[in-house]
């Protein structure tokens, strides 16, 4: 199966179906960001600490696999020069919609998050990568490419799933049963299992090990300087964090 093509089509379908992560921010959010009053999510619920961000005015920011008209228009309204890179044409349309509506300048580029060859080395000061590498089957190339396109001293902010959220299956009585191994690959499920776990017309998902999520950043050359956990609305959230967020620096 061509994972990238399949997930492009499924995310375009998610836009049509009104997935919450495809709903663009409103004018009031942009107006507040222009006043310096803003917050964004790397994970499901917990806002990113403002001290994790360098001053955005004049900063070159890459929203990596970050379409949907949510975070990147806020960065643009706060004064950054923003490029949104995403696999879904309809998600990129959301960012263009907000840009046109609010008079913002946002560059949109369609592509595979594992290959940022369209960008020269050291093109950006900040890479913002919300929970999205769950939709690719190999994650280490993402960290290597993020490292390459960042300038020395640049920042990578990344959110990703706790891989253990995929271990358990919920029975009809609400009990969670350990069933699936890590790393998790939803291609190994039947169509019925995928629909039950993720819903119909859902993208393929992959649970990467922390050795590849965190260790992969370190092996790419990053220095990890911050981390937090976040909760999830999934049933396993009763027992464990569903997400992690990291702040990493490319050494100067």
CA 145 – CA 28 distance, rounded (Å): 34
What is the token pair recorded at 214? 């965190």
Across 139-154, average pLDDT: 98
Tens digit of each residue's pLDDT (9 = 90 or more) over 189-235:
999 889 988 888 999 999 999 999 999 999 999 999 999 999 988 87
Tens digit of each residue's pLDDT (9 = 90 or more) over 43-96:
999 999 999 999 999 999 999 999 999 999 999 999 999 999 999 999 999 999
Residue whose structure tokens are 């050291």: 122
pLDDT band at 17 (very low <50, low <70, confident <90, very high): very high
171 pLDDT more than 80 = no
DSSP 3-state assignment of 203? Answer: coil
Across 123-135, average pLDDT: 98
Q: pTM for the whole thing?
A: 0.96
The gap between the terminal CA atoms of the chain, to the nearest Å, is: 40
Q: Give ∠ CA 196-166-238 in degrees, rounded to 5.
A: 95
CA 100 – CA 80 distance, rounded (Å): 16
């Amino acid at each position: 199966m061509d994972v990238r093509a399949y997930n492009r089509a499924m995310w375009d379908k998610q836009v049509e179906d009104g997935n919450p992560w495809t709903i663009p921010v409103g004018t009031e959010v942009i107006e507040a960001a222009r006043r310096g009053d803003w917050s964004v999510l790397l994970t499901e619920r917990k806002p990113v600490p403002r001290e994790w961000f360098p001053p955005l005015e004049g900063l070159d920011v890459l929203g990596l696999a970050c379409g949907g008209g949510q975070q990147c228009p806020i960065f643009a309204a706060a004064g950054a020069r923003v490029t949104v890179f995403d696999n879904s044409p309809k998600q990129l349309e959301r960012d263009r919609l907000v840009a046109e509506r609010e008079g913002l300048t946002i560059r949109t580029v369609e592509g595979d998050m594992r290959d940022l060859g369209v960008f020269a080395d050291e093109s950006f000061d900040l890479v913002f990568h919300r929970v999205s590498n769950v939709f690719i089957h190999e994650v280490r190339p993402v960290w290597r490419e993020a490292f390459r396109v960042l300038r020395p001293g640049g920042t990578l902010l990344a959110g990703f799933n706790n891989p253990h959220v995929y271990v358990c299956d919920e029975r009809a009585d609400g009990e969670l049963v350990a069933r699936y191994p890590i790393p998790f690959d939803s291609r190994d499920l039947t169509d019925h299992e995928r629909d039950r776990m993720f819903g119909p017309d859902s993208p393929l998902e992959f649970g990467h090990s922390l050795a590849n999520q965190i260790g992969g950043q370190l092996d790419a050359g990053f220095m990890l300087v911050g981390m937090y956990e976040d909760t999830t609305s999934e049933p396993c959230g009763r027992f464990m964090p569903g997400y992690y967020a990291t702040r990493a620096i490319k050494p100067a």
